[in-house]
């Protein structure tokens, strides 16, 4: 088959799960069939889940050139794999802000829910299709990962409902302790390069400034803080090299629901201290932001507002 299904670049677990499950169910839910590929190397959480479930990961694809594509867990061009062509996009399933237009009607389903895995689960149930055991386990993993076990403010009640329904098939004895092991796997930074540790970044235009927001989600912030100097150095070099105006790092403690915000130079420190309300200055360019876990809902809006009113 020439048609492929892809997640966003720097794929997270939800993106990978969505491509795999999509390829298994597309035909049964009247979507275009497609073969799954990875858009980059999988993170430790993703490896843990696929190892635990004993499912093979798709191969990494370097370019989508010449292929018809289905996009899952993203729609914006900045997130596409190299070589994706707009008029070869056949379908999109996503839960992010829409920044996409197309000259032809395509399969397009975007919902404000906690994960793309949630939407895939809905699709299967709507079509009254049986859920394969592996798909049920993968989808639970994707939902739990993106919603941080339902603690992220992006969580909707449908996310919990889908996990409950899927677990009638998957029969994971305790989804909470399964989630804890996923988060532990994600927090293990041993043997990872800075490029890998800091791979979860997105760049925004904020009042004419290019602002890069990098997120490290961890169940053990101390492991991340051990490598703080390296992180600062990497982000400083990266900012120079890619000429961003600002580069801000959030080390998110997903167990205790708080972030340590890292300013890599004076201008970032100033922006952080002015943009965020109720933030504790810990000194040395570090700030504590209680309750902050979601880039989309909590990190971006205050900064956006700050830069636009500046």
Select 11 or 263, whichever has its Cβ closest to Mn ion. 11
User: Looking at 1-9, 68-76, 249-257, 267-275, which segment touches Mn ion (CB under 5 A)?
Assistant: 68-76
Is residue 146 part of the contact set for Mn ion (CB under 5 A)? yes
Per-residue contact string for residues 14-53; x = within reach of Mn ion by CB under 5 A: x---------------------------------------
Per-residue contact string for residues 103-132; x = within reach of Mn ion by CB under 5 A: ------------xx----------------
Is residue 253 part of the contact set for Mn ion (CB under 5 A)? no
Is residue 94 part of the contact set for Mn ion (CB under 5 A)? no
Minimum distance, C-beta of residue 76 to Mn ion, in the bound complex (Å): 13
Select 91 or 271, whichever has its Cβ closest to Mn ion. 91
Minimum distance, C-beta of residue 265 to Mn ion, in the bound complex (Å): 31
Is residue 73 part of the contact set for Mn ion (CB under 5 A)? yes
Select 115 or 218, whichever has its Cβ closest to Mn ion. 115
Per-residue contact string for residues 200-239; x = within reach of Mn ion by CB under 5 A: ----------------------------------------
User: Looking at 36-44, 67-75, 180-188, 224-232, which segment touches Mn ion (CB under 5 A)?
Assistant: 67-75
Minimum distance, C-beta of residue 115 to Mn ion, in the bound complex (Å): 5
Query: Computed over its alpha carbons, how large is the radius of gyration of the chain?
Result: 19
Residues 6+ apart with CB under 8 A from 46: 11, 12, 13, 16, 57
What is the chain's length? 310
Minimum distance, C-beta of residue 8 to Mn ion, in the bound complex (Å): 8
* Concatenated DSSP letters of the chain: ---EEE--SS--HHHHHHHHHHHHHGGGGT----EE-BSS---HHHHHHHHHHT-PPPPB-S--TT--EEEES--SGGGSPTT--GGGEEEEEE-S------SS--EEEE-SSS-HHHHHHHHHHHTTPPPPHHHHHHHHHHHHHHTTTTTSTT--HHHHHHHHHHHHHH--S-HHHHHHHHHHHHH--TT--HHHHT--EEEEEETTEEEEEEEEEES-HHHHHTTHHHHHHHHHHHHHHTT-SEEEEEEEETTTTEEEEEESSHHHHHHHHHHSSS-EEEETTEEEEET---IIIIIHHHHHHHHHH-
Look at residues 121, 131, 133, 129 and name the one whose alpha carbon lies nearest to residue 158. 121
**Sole residue written with tokens 């796997």:** 185
Minimum distance, C-beta of residue 127 to Mn ion, in the bound complex (Å): 22
Select 73 or 253, whichever has its Cβ closest to Mn ion. 73
Minimum distance, C-beta of residue 268 to Mn ion, in the bound complex (Å): 27
Site for Mn ion in 148-207 (CB under 5 A): none
Select 146 or 268, whichever has its Cβ closest to Mn ion. 146
Minimum distance, C-beta of residue 116 to Mn ion, in the bound complex (Å): 5
Minimum distance, C-beta of residue 96 to Mn ion, in the bound complex (Å): 7
Q: Which residue is nearest to Mn ion (CB)?
A: 14
Look at residues 96, 184, 173, 185 and name the one whose alpha carbon lies nearest to residue 137. 173
Which residues in this chain contact Mn ion in the complex, by CB under 5 A?
Answer: 14, 73, 115-116, 146
């Amino acid at each position: 088959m020439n048609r492929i299904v892809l997640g966003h670049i720097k794929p997270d677990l939800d993106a990978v799960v969505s491509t795999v499950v999509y390829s298994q169910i597309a035909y049964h839910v009247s979507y275009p069939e497609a073969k799954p590929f990875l858009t980059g190397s999988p993170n430790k959480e993703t490896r843990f889940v696929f190892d635990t479930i004993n499912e093979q990961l798709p191969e990494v694809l370097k370019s989508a050139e010449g292929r018809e594509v289905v996009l899952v867990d993203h729609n914006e061009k900045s997130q596409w794999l190299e070589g994706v062509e707009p008029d070869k996009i056949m379908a999109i399933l996503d839960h992010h802000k829409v920044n996409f237009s197309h000259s032809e009607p395509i399969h397009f389903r975007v919902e404000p829910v906690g994960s793309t895995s949630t939407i895939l689960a809905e699709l299967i149930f709507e079509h009254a299709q049986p859920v394969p055991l592996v798909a049920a386990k993968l989808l639970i993993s994707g939902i739990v990962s993106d919603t941080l076990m339902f603690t992220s403010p992006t969580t909707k009640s449908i996310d919990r409902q889908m996990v409950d329904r899927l677990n009638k098939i998957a029969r994971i004895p305790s989804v909470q302790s399964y989630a804890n092991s996923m988060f532990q796997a994600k927090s293990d930074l041993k043997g990872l390069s800075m490029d890998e540790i800091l791979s979860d970044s997105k760049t925004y235009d904020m009042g004419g400034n290019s602002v890069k927001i990098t997120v490290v989600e961890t169940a053990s912030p101390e492991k991340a803080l051990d490598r703080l100097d390296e992180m600062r150095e990497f982000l400083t070099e990266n900012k120079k090299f890619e000429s961003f105006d600002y580069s801000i790092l959030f080390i998110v403690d997903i167990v205790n629901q708080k972030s340590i915000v890292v300013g890599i130079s004076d201008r970032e420190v100033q922006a952080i201290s002015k943009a965020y309300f109720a933030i504790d200055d810990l000194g040395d360019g570090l700030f504590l932001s209680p309750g902050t876990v979601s880039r989309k809902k909590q990190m971006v809006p205050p900064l956006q507002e700050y830069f636009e009113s500046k």
